[in-house]
Amino acid sequence: MQPLRFSFSDLIAGYVTYFDRAKACFGLQTSHGHDYDVYLTNNTYGQIVRNLGWPWHTANLGEMLSSGQYLYVYGIYYPQGDDYRFEAKSFVFPGTTPDTYNHEEPDWWINQIQAIADHYMHWQFDYPNQPIDYANYRTILHLAGGKKGDFLQETDTISRLVYGLSSAYLLTGKDYFLDAAEKGTEYLRRHMRFYDADEDLIYWYHGIQVMGKREQKLLTSEFGDDHDSIPAYEQIYALAGPIQTFRATGDPRILHDAEKTIELFDKFYIDREQGGYFSHLDPITLDPRADSLGNNRARKNWNSVGDHAPAYLINLWLATGEQKYADFLEYTFDTIVRHFPDYENSPFVQERFYEDWSHDTTWGWQQNRAVVGHNLKIAWNLMRMHSLKPKEDYVALARKIAELMPSVGSDQQRGGWYDVVERLLDEGEEIHRFVWHDRKAWWQQEQAILAYLILHGVLKDGSYQKHAREAASFYNAFQLDHDDGGVYFNVLANGLPYLMGNERLKGSHSMSGYHSMELCYLAAVYTNLLITKQPMDLHFRPRPDANRVLRVQPDILPPGSVRLESVTIDGQAYQNFDAEGLSVTLPESDTPLRVKVRLVPMPVMG
């Protein structure tokens, strides 16, 4: 093939190696070690990364191009001789010096969650102009938050928004976030919950179709992947928001709903002979092996086996400390460790299985393809579990994923993480093929950030710190929508927002404020308490009927890594707490209590 002889624009992410002022040129080395000479022009400009709601902050290029500085430069390649000359047009700097990353500031993620949550409150409920009313909730939101006129309210997207709003409350203590989360939880209970009196368990409708004051309940999924079935995925995510709310309020009705939904998993989804959980049930017989399920008959997948943990189960354990939930978690992760690795064939885990755990490489869109973020999600959650029940297998698999993924799942030229790729290379191929595109979805970035943050936070490995910084820098540089609020669904490989079709939306079946706010909550926890060692405040509002032992552990962290330093209740200092056990013994009260706790990292890990 002849060399390309045309100009084109692109992004480079890398570390400054030299700066020659006289030539207006500097060296840039990418994450995977490729060197570039980058030329400045009279019109080159730069900014320092800014959080949502922050003003533009111009970068002083002359001062900031110091050796070791990480940056993004967007520019144009011009053919010149036998090579190309890259001329810079614009920069984004993640911090003002090589050692500072703005997203590691103690309140960065807290400010971000407040901004995102405020936007969703405005978009969905016109808050504070109108009272919070979930009858007005709509799944589809335009780029700028406007409603599109759809009338479907999906259970799991409402639950996901509730999760985000509860998380926003835990970090900020703003009552209106928790008010909205509690109303959303109540709405789910009243409209989306099916109590099966015969089996004494609960399952959740797919959603409701709202038609004026009438509503049509939809028991089975409306989506092509899961049509006419009850997918485990939807039942799992129905619990996400309520359980995060339960952490803050201790509402015993939520616990009851969760217990009865878990009984559904343990009675109908579980495979007691060969292990794991089936992915779909027939809606009439609740049989995972019903012929009516078609290509979902007797199948297991990442969602049905693994998504329990991040969606609700870890949070349920954090809130209750119940051994049975720790056991469920252990079962989940042991199942993943046993069945998902497939490293003799692919650097990616296997995600879909038949009943006997043989590999299903024919299912729907997935075929023999990998979701990069699912690999990272496994690594992240294995590291959480390792702090609850340490196992070498957990750490080994997390490390394996962390070491393999950058070269096969990330863009080491421009930064950021890809979406869905082929698990196998064909003959002559050097890069795993992108199934649909080389765009970068917000939630995949989240998985990378959290995986490498917790890996570094627990294992103190500089390479994990590098990947965490690079992933978080990309997300904050390109995924935030400074014009309309919230985050972009997808950006192009070069970081520019992709605003077509569903990927233009701020609310959809895929996006409702969950991943963006989950990221803020946990990135704040891991960064402050495990990495930069900063104190952190969390907020709770236990109800009068809540258990009087309030557990305030922010996430599953290494034992002894965090201590509860102080507590206030309704603004007054309060002493009845267990500093090492991370719990507060609450006084009896006829009204909800506002509990603020200060957590401090311990200098030496236990």
Partner 1 sequence: MEIQTQQVDAIEVVTVQGDIDSKTAPAFQEALLPFYASNDDLVLNMSQVTFMSSAGLRVLLSVYRQASQASTRLVLVGLSEELQDTMSATGFLEHFETYTTLDEGIAAIKQKA
Binding site for partner 1 (CB under 8 A): 190-191, 193-199, 209, 214-220, 283-286
Which one, 5 or 190, has the nearer CB to partner 1?
Answer: 190
Q: How far is the CB of 57 from partner 1 (least distance, A)?
A: 52
CA angle 485, 541, 528 (to 5 degrees): 60
SS3 174: coil
Which one, 183 or 414, has the nearer CB to partner 1?
Answer: 183
SS3 498: strand
Q: How far is the CB of 217 from partner 1 (least distance, A)?
A: 5
- CA–CA separation, 444 vs 101, rounded Å? 21
Q: How far is the CB of 197 from partner 1 (least distance, A)?
A: 6
Which one, 219 or 425, has the nearer CB to partner 1?
Answer: 219
Q: How far is the CB of 152 from partner 1 (least distance, A)?
A: 13
Q: Output the CA–CA distances (angstroms, integers) from residue 476 to 109, 308, 587, in the order listed.
A: 10, 28, 42
Helices (H), 460-539: 462-474, 514-525
Q: How far is the CB of 204 from partner 1 (least distance, A)?
A: 12
- Give residues with Cβ within 8 angstroms of 307, minimum separation 6: 233, 236, 237
Which one, 201 or 557, has the nearer CB to partner 1?
Answer: 201
- CA–CA separation, 416 vs 467, rounded Å? 10
Q: How far is the CB of 235 from partner 1 (least distance, A)?
A: 14
- Give residues with Cβ within 8 angstroms of 225, minimum separation 6: 231, 364, 365
Which one, 137 or 204, has the nearer CB to partner 1?
Answer: 204
- CA–CA separation, 18 vs 71, rounded Å? 13
Which one, 193 or 253, has the nearer CB to partner 1?
Answer: 193
Which one, 229 or 527, has the nearer CB to partner 1?
Answer: 229
- CA–CA separation, 525 vs 538, rounded Å? 10
Number of other CB atoms surrounding residue 406 within 10 Å: 20
Q: How far is the CB of 209 from partner 1 (least distance, A)?
A: 8
Q: How far is the CB of 199 from partner 1 (least distance, A)?
A: 7
Give per-residue burial for 414-447: e unless 16+ CB within 10 Å, then b. Answer: bbbbbbbbbbbeeeeeeebeebeebbbbbbbbbb
Q: How far is the CB of 501 from partner 1 (least distance, A)?
A: 24
Under 8 Å between Cβ of 481 and 475: no
Which one, 217 or 460, has the nearer CB to partner 1?
Answer: 217
Instruction: Tell me the DSSP string of 402-447.
Output: HHHHHHHHB-TTT--B--EEESSPPTT--SPPBSS---EEHHHHHH
Which structure tokens are listed for 135? 């009858």
Which one, 199 or 461, has the nearer CB to partner 1?
Answer: 199
